[in-house]
A and B are shown apart, each in its own frame.
Chain A
Amino acid sequence: MERSLRKYWPIFLLPTVIAFIIGFVVPFAEGLYLSFCQFTTVNNAKFIGIKNFIRAISDAQFGASFWFTLRFAICSVLSINIIAFIVALWLTKKFAGNNFLRAVFFMPNLIGGIVLGYIWQILINCVLSIVGKPLLALNSTAGFVGLIILMCWQQIGYMMIIYIAGLNSVPDSLIEASKIDGATNLQTLFKVKIPMVMPTITICMFLTLTNSFKLFDQNLALTGGDPNHQTEMLALNIYNTFYARAGAQWKGMGQAKAVIFFIIVILMSFAQLKLSRDSEIQQ
């Protein structure tokens, strides 16, 4: 069978592989190379060594964006997962309207980041205006909180569904057994349910972490980095370095920032892989 399938490789492999080369391999390799160059288009690149990286690291705005992103990621990962887990616990109880609520909570996840950002910008600005506080464009605290609220609204439903799946797979016999042993509800939760769904928690944590780190559309639409780049996250900072600043040095610097960003994301993925492998071995 293998032999006859092998002959068909142009049909099976080629379309995807060619598109993949155009859409990923070539741009990626070029991007890697260009991070060592000064350029304004791909054709006029001039090799300048690691100068771009030095510029990128010494750019105060890039550092500020990194810390902002990190703070944002930690806050949103915690709030999304805690709320989603509590909602999941609530919705695994049987009551009328339970499925309806699941569907409602999940819905915002389907709306795109630009539209979401815009909806929330209108809403938050109105609230701010009514209480007499500076609008989003001038108010970095509101921008930060707003981004977290937006992310929670979008992601809670998604994480909740994953948690529900995890909670449902905890065998009833275990819970019964702990009850017979005289455990309170709280003890059952912390001693039985949470350890059993630990792999699910790991998955959700990393899913929200990478989503928060790579956030772009929502950031662009809700605050656009205002005021004065104070709410600019890494992805938006890279975009702005590329496209909002004119001059020869910026593009190379943007590409170097992108490479650094890429390395951070790769490291996070490896950490995730290792953690989930470890937890598999334990079980």
Chain B
Amino acid sequence: MKKNPILKIFLSLLVLAVAVLYMYPIIMIVLNSLKVESAISTNTVFELPRSNSFNGLNNFITAITKQGFLQSFFYSVFITVTSLISILVCCSMCAYFITRIRSKVSSFLYYLFVFSMVVPFQMVMFTLAQTADTLRLNTPYNIFIIYLGFGAGLAVFMFAGFMKSVPIEVEEAAMIDGCNPLQTFFLIVLPILKPTIVSVGILEAMWLWNDYLLPTLVLDIKKYMTIPMLIQYFRGSYGKVEMGPMMASIVLTVLPIILVYIFAQKYIIKGMTSGAVKG
């Protein structure tokens, strides 16, 4: 069934048009981030930047140099990375243990983890903030302990779900060959877990990177702000919001996500979908 080439071009253009339309909110922000302050008001947002309203990269420079974007970016990256590593390592070990050791404690723990997945954050919001404060877990450098605790539910659940389907024989063979349990886990089990690690990693990373309420309540706001906190702070500032730098900050926030997405699209879609189907 050969198609008319003109029709083919038309269809491709249609696809492109749909894509541009769907991405319009982001395109709009990018365009406005290049405009001068006075050209961003409720009536002119839809206009393209013109020679007299074009501001080059000045908004970006202001956002980075004056508004503390870089610090926030660093804290966000640092928190995401440390929390993610600890969740992946600790929770896979924990899940391995409770699936391989069949006892009342194991199954109790398992159900407790599953239970924690369902509990809405508002339920523990106040008490968690107080606990974190008492234990001084209020810096970007140790908040990963809180994240490990609160993110453990989903991670353990997904790891355990996959672990059940891994045949135990390989591990037993490794043990007989003289591996201790740690070696067995890191050398034999972890490589088998790879696809689940990717899925869990992506799901948790999305949550960690975008989380707003937990760091707002837990972090010491005198010193630290993550990116979502910074954006919300901009928004809330007095009548006079500096729209230009704020648009630039939004672009700088969205850009890394899009870049990562372009390169790891396949894994991200797969990871998030498998997480959903199991959860």
User: Hey, which bits of chain A sit against chain B, CB under 8 A?
Assistant: 1-2, 4-9, 11-13, 15-17, 19-28, 30-31, 34, 41-42, 95-97, 100-107, 109-115, 118-120, 122-123, 125-126, 129-130, 135, 153, 158, 161-162, 165, 203, 207, 214, 216-217, 220-221, 235, 238-239, 242, 251, 254-255, 258-259, 261-262, 265-266, 269
Asked if A126 and B43 sit within 8 Å, CB to CB, the answer is: yes
Residue of B nearest to A29 (CB): B127
Tell whether, in the assembled complex, residue B125 and residue A239 are in contact, meaning their CB atoms are under 8 Å apart: yes
* Nearest Cβ on chain B to A72's Cβ, whole angstroms: 16
Whether the pair A42, B45 counts as a contact (CB closer than 8 A) is no
Interface residues on B, range: 35 or more
Asked whether A97 lies within 8 Å of B43 as measured between CB atoms, the reply is no
* Distance of A155 from chain B, by nearest CB (Å): 11
- Please indicate the chain A residues that have their CB under 8 angstroms from the CB of B42 in the complex: 125-126, 129-130, 135
**Chain B 114-147 per-residue mask, 1 if CB under 8 angstroms from chain A, else 0:** 0010111111111110111001010000000111
Q: Which residue of B lies closest to A210 (CB)?
A: B118
Residues of B contacting A34 in the complex (Cβ-Cβ under 8 angstroms): 126-127
User: Given A110-B268, A115-B228, A118-B235, is A4 in contact with B181 using a C-beta cutoff of 8 Å?
Assistant: yes
> Given that A16-B152, A122-B45 are contacting pairs, would A239 and B122 also be in contact in the complex, using a CB cutoff of 8 Å?
yes
> CB of B6 within 8 A of chain A?
no
Q: Which residues of chain A come closer than 8 Å to B107, judged between CB atoms?
A: none
- Cβ–Cβ contact A266 & B253, under 8 A: no
- List chain B residues, Cβ under 8 A from A96: 8, 11-12, 15
B119, B211, B261, most chain A CB atoms within 10 A: B119
Count of inter-chain pairs, beta carbons less than 8 A: 253
Q: Say whether A104 contacts B19, CB under 8 Å.
A: yes
Of all chain A residues, which has the CB nearest B118? Answer: A269
Q: How far is the CA of A30 from the CA of B132 in the complex (A)?
A: 13
With A111-B210, A129-B42, A129-B43 in contact, is A16–B124 under 8 Å at CB?
A: no
Closest A residue to B25 by beta carbon equals A119
9-residue interface stretch from B48-56, B61-69, B192-200, B270-278: B270-278
Q: How far is the CA of A26 from the CA of B130 in the complex (A)?
A: 11
In the assembled complex, the Cα of A95 lies from the Cα of B18 at a distance in Å of 14
B46 at the interface (CB under 8 A from A): yes
Q: How far is the CA of A119 from the CA of B28 in the complex (A)?
A: 9
Decide if B146 touches A161 in the complex (CB within 8 Å): no
Q: List, sorted by A's number, 27 A–B pairs whose CB atoms are closer than 8 Å.
A: A7-B181, A11-B182, A15-B90, A19-B148, A20-B113, A22-B146, A22-B149, A23-B128, A23-B146, A27-B131, A28-B116, A30-B127, A31-B123, A96-B8, A97-B11, A101-B18, A110-B261, A111-B210, A112-B253, A115-B254, A122-B28, A126-B46, A130-B46, A153-B22, A221-B232, A238-B122, A265-B119
Q: Assess whether A2 is in contact with B94, with CB atoms less than 8 Å apart.
A: no
The answer for the CA separation of A26 and B19 in the assembled complex, in Å, is: 47
Say how far A218's CB is from chain B's closest CB, in angstroms.
10
In the assembled complex, how far is the CB of residue B240 from the closest CB belonging to chain A, in whole angstroms? 16
Contact B119 A262 (CB under 8 A): yes
Query: A27 CA to B214 CA in the complex, in Å?
Result: 13
Interface residue ranges, B against A (CB under 8 Å): 8, 11-12, 15-16, 18-19, 22-23, 25-26, 28-29, 32, 42-43, 45-46, 86, 90-91, 93-94, 96-98, 100-101, 109, 112-113, 116, 118-128, 130-132, 135, 137, 145-150, 152-153, 156, 168, 171-172, 175, 180-182, 185, 206, 209-213, 228, 231-232, 235, 250, 253-254, 257-258, 261, 265, 268-269, 272-273, 276-277, 279
A19-B148, A22-B145 given; A13·B213 CB < 8 A: no
By a CB distance below 8 angstroms, the chain A residues around B150 are: 23-24
Q: Which of A25, A103, A221, A242 contacts B112, CB < 8 Å?
A: A25
| Contact yes or no, A100 B90, CB < 8 A | no
Do residues A165 and B273 form an inter-chain contact, with CB atoms below 8 A?
A: yes
| Interface contact B93-A11, CB-CB below 8 Å | yes
Additional 4 contacts, C-beta under 8 A, given A19-B146, A119-B250, A153-B22: A1-B172, A22-B146, A122-B28, A265-B120
- The residues of A that contact B119 with a CB separation of less than 8 Å are 24, 28, 262, 265-266
CB distance from B206 to the nearest CB of A (A): 6
A24 / chain B contacts, CB cutoff of 8 Å: 116, 119, 124, 149-150, 152-153
How far apart are the CA atoms of A271 and B208 in the complex, in Å? 28
B268 proximity list for chain A (CB < 8 A): 110
| Contact in complex: A235, B43 (CB < 8 Å) | no
Do B253 and A8 touch across chains, with their CB atoms under 8 A apart?
no
Alpha-carbon distance between A123 and B247 when the two chains are bound, in angstroms: 12
A254-B122 Cα distance, complex, nearest whole Å: 9
Complex formed: what's the CA distance from A26 to B157 in Å? Answer: 20
Bound Cα distance A111, B268 (Å):
13
User: Complex: how many Å from CA A183 to CA B118?
Assistant: 43
Which interface residue of B126, B210, B269, B272 has the most chain A CB atoms within 10 A? Answer: B126
Asked if residues B29 and A119 are in contact (CB atoms below 8 Å), the reply is yes
